[in-house]
Structures are given as C-alpha cells and as structure tokens.
Amino acid sequence: MFFLKTGINYTIISGEKLLFFRLFTLGCKVNQYETEYIRTGLLRLGYTESEPGHVADIVVINTCTVTAESEMKGRKAIRKLIRENPGAEVIVTGCSATHNNKQILNISGVSKIIADKQEIPDFLRSLGLAELPKGIQAFGERHRAYVKVQDGCRVGCSYCIIPKVRPTLRSRSENNILDEIRTLVQNGYREIVLTGIHLGHYGIDFANSYKNLAALVRRIIEMEIEEPFRLRLSSLEAVEVSEELIDLMLQNPQRICPHLHLSMQSGSDEVLRRMRRRWLSETFIRRCEEIAARFDRLALTTDIIVGFPGETEKQFEETCRIVERLRFSKIHIFRFSPRKGTEAATFSDTISPSIQRVRAAQLAEIAKRLRTHYAASLVGTTLSVLPETIHSGTADRYLTVRFQKTIEPQILGQLRDVQITHAFDETLFGNINNI
C-alpha cells in the first residue's frame, strides 16, 4: 500500500516543461531490477534522468533491510538525497520501506512510501502512465542485465528478515520473461542473469508442476535470437539443482555459464539447525560433489555466515574443513549481525565482534588460496569473456580476466573467446582471439 505524508498532485508532462528524476538503489539483484523497471516507466512518461549536481523533481530510493547496517545506509541515503534535491517529491520503496514504513515516513522530506513492491505499477499509473511496461529494455550502463523471474520466500531461516517483507511467492510468466530477454539481447546485453528472492522456487506457485526453473532455462536457450548471449543463474540451494538443469548446462556450454552459487551458510549441523536451514551438511556436501563431478572445472561459489550465536571454535573448524573439501572458487563471507524481528536476534549466546573478525579473516585466507588455485587451473584454457572495460572483463566462470593488450571500445560488451596465458592470485590474464 501507499503511505502518504502529504497530498501529492503529480503533473503529467505537457508542453516543453522537462521533469527530472533520480534513482538510488541498495541491496540485491532483485532490487536493482525493480529500480530498472521504475526507470523504464519514468522514461516512458517523458521524464529525464538527472545528471550529477542537477536537482531532480522526483527521487525514488529503493531500500534494503537484510541487515541493520543496510537499513542505516538507506536512511542516510534518504536524508542526503533530500538535501541534494530540495523541493523534490521523495518516494521510498524496497524492503526497508516495508519493514519500517512509519520510521521512514517520519523523515522530514519523505513524500510517499511504497510499502508493497507489487504496487509499483500503481505508483507509475499515479504519475499518468497509461500503458505499463511489461519489462525492462535496458540495464543502465552495464554490459550484463539482471532479469527478475521470481519474488518471495517462505523458508524462514532464523537469521533472515526477508520472508517477513517478501512472503508471497510470485513467478513471472515464461512468455513475459522470454520477451524481456529478447529485448535486452537485441539492445546489446550479452549476459543475462536470472534472479529472484528464491530463484529455485520459480514456478512453485503455478498450477502446472512442469513449469520449474529448468523448464524456464530450456525455453530461454531454445529462443531464436540471432545475437549471441549467455545465461547465468544467481543463488540456488544445492538440492534445487535438478538433473535436468545440469544436463542443460552440460549440453549448452556456450549458452549457460559453468557457474553455480550454492548457499552453504555453515558446515556445522548444530549451527545449521539453529539457523533453521532445511538441509544439514552431509546433504549439501553430497549434492555439491555430485554436481561438480559432472563438470570440467565448474565454478562453485557460496555464502557463509561466521560467528552465528553459539558457534564454537570446533563448529567453525567444521565449516573450514568442508570449504577445503568442496574447494569453492569464491566465498562471500558475512559476520553475523542480529536482525531485529528474527528469531536469531533473540539468541543470548552471541559471539564477540573480535572473535567474528578473527574467524572471518581466517576463512578469507582459505577462500583466497582456493580461488588462486582455481584460477591457476584455468591457465591454458579458452574462456568466454564479457569485456567490461578496455582492460578487463568477466569470464563465464566468474573470474576477472585482464587483457594483455588494451582492446578497442567497440569490443566492450561483446562476448569474446580469450586464451588464458597465466594467472596471478585471483586474476587471469589472456589474449582475445582474432585480435
């Protein structure tokens, strides 16, 4: 629903008067996609995106609530943008707007809160937009585009607030997603990243059980598009990687990136139970090893929380041992911070910040060594790389590749095969073929 502080009369653009907008986003890939959707709508209305230093007429801030720190950053950004855009209509949306709408509405200068992101289309209609966009057509200045295919999570991990702010499972129609991807590829985006709040639950809300993530991926790769592009999947649970999905990845190596991000969180069964994770370590290990065994040097990345309440040194060491065993190519490491409104925030056996820092640093050393080893294993191979600067790009296996020679600007954003000549730490070096 909308929360209005004051009556707002939006002016439909007429004559030669230009109205300017500014957007600001915190948080996940889904948030970034939803901001792009708002940008698409505002541009369709005739608004112009403001340049730095130019005062906007309307400001939209898309917030995150996953941690207390992200909420604090959101409030800080709101106040800063209000100061920089005096007189602007300031609209706040995102998960923090859902979780703490009254607190945000009390910030002087905030005009409106969109507490339910499903009402973003209503917000655009209130500005006078008669025909809503079915999807996005661009993704800013980036060379890859995120495509949101699913929303909502009901899993209920004890540390996570997201099921309380995005509880409803909603999957977009396959045709809508295919049309959006076709448009993005035709507009020059050569990497499409499928994302969702719980990507593995795509299709679970459909009546037809065959409409799942693997079925969606199959339809995407079967699309008749002249321009080359590749597909990358964002975070999944290990048990959600079906045999059908693996087969599709193996059968279409030029289309689907050989990279899976499988969330681990901890290697200790006791910690996993307290986290209310659905699967214990042996299930996770077994599935990761089954998946990795079918690929040649699969990029396997993960998330881990250190310093969860009650985590002992022995339990942390269990996590480290599993990390060593599975040899992740990249690890996102998070130090636990209590999130008000979650079960874990009520746990009394907290771990001191100093111990958390030590454990995070120890795990980071292991992660760096494993990533360096993984990079070295790719020397001599040819990788598909998306050049993002004249000096470097991102490989299909999710590592940075530095080019031996500066490339021409027209190659930016175009998929190229790169012969990897050597590696230094986590970075690969190579030459683009046929240049």
85: CATH:
3.40.50.12160
* 252 and 152 in a common domain: yes
Last residue of a domain, one of 222, 257, 292: 257
Calpha distance 422→286 (Å, rounded): 32
Contacts of 378 (CB under 8 A, 6+ apart): 297, 395, 397, 399, 420, 423, 428
Looking up residue 289, the CATH number of its domain turns out to be 3.30.750.200
* 121 and 7 in a common domain: yes
Is there a domain that residue 87 lies in? Answer: yes
* 357 and 286 in a common domain: yes
Calpha distance 394→415 (Å, rounded): 10
Looking up residue 245, the CATH number of its domain turns out to be 3.30.750.210
* 122 and 13 in a common domain: yes
Is there a domain that residue 353 lies in? Answer: yes
Amino acid identity, residue 420?
A: I
Is there a domain that residue 133 lies in? Answer: no
Q: For residues 192 and 144, is the Cβ–Cβ distance under 8 A?
A: yes
Is there a domain that residue 167 lies in? Answer: yes
The model carries a pTM of 0.92
Calpha distance 76→96 (Å, rounded): 13
Closest among 430, 390, 421 to 406, alpha carbons compared: 390
* Paired tokens of 428: 């690969």
* 278 and 353 in a common domain: yes
* Paired tokens of 335: 């130090």
Residue with structure tokens 């760096």? 368
Looking at the 3D structure of the chain, how many domains does it have? 4
* 81 and 12 in a common domain: yes
Closest among 261, 251, 259, 229 to 386, alpha carbons compared: 229
Is there a domain that residue 110 lies in? Answer: yes
Closest among 399, 404, 402, 403 to 375, alpha carbons compared: 399
Calpha distance 347→308 (Å, rounded): 10
Is there a domain that residue 232 lies in? Answer: yes
* 157 and 113 in a common domain: no
Calpha distance 352→152 (Å, rounded): 32
What b/e readout covers 354-376, taking b as 16+ CB neighbours within 10 angstroms?
ebbeebbeebeebbeebbeebbe
* 160 and 243 in a common domain: yes
Last residue of a domain, one of 223, 257, 291: 257
Calpha distance 20→54 (Å, rounded): 9
Beta strands 170-171 and 58-63 are unpaired
Last residue of a domain, one of 362, 377, 392: 377
Contacts of 159 (CB under 8 A, 6+ apart): 275, 305, 308, 336, 339, 342, 343, 344
Is there a domain that residue 131 lies in? Answer: no
* 280 and 208 in a common domain: no
Q: How far is CA 30 from the centre of its chain?
A: 6
* 104 and 7 in a common domain: yes
User: Domain of 53?
Assistant: 2-126
Tens place of pLDDT per residue across the chain (435 aa): 444 433 333 344 444 568 999 999 999 999 999 999 999 999 999 999 998 889 999 999 999 999 888 999 999 999 999 999 999 999 999 999 888 888 898 899 999 999 888 889 999 999 999 999 999 999 988 899 999 999 999 899 999 999 999 889 999 999 999 999 999 999 999 999 999 999 999 999 998 767 899 999 999 999 999 999 999 999 999 999 999 999 999 999 999 999 999 999 999 999 999 999 999 999 999 999 999 999 999 999 999 999 999 999 999 999 999 999 999 999 999 999 999 899 999 999 999 999 999 999 999 999 999 999 999 999 999 999 999 999 999 999 999 999 999 999 999 999 999 999 999 999 999 988 765
* 212 and 97 in a common domain: no
Backbone angles phi, psi at 114, to 5 degrees: -100, 95
* 249 and 155 in a common domain: yes
Is there a domain that residue 132 lies in? Answer: no
Three-state SS for 79-140 is HHHHHHCCCCEEEEEEHHHHHCHHHHHCCCCEEEEECCHHHHHHHHHHCCCCCCCCCCCCEC
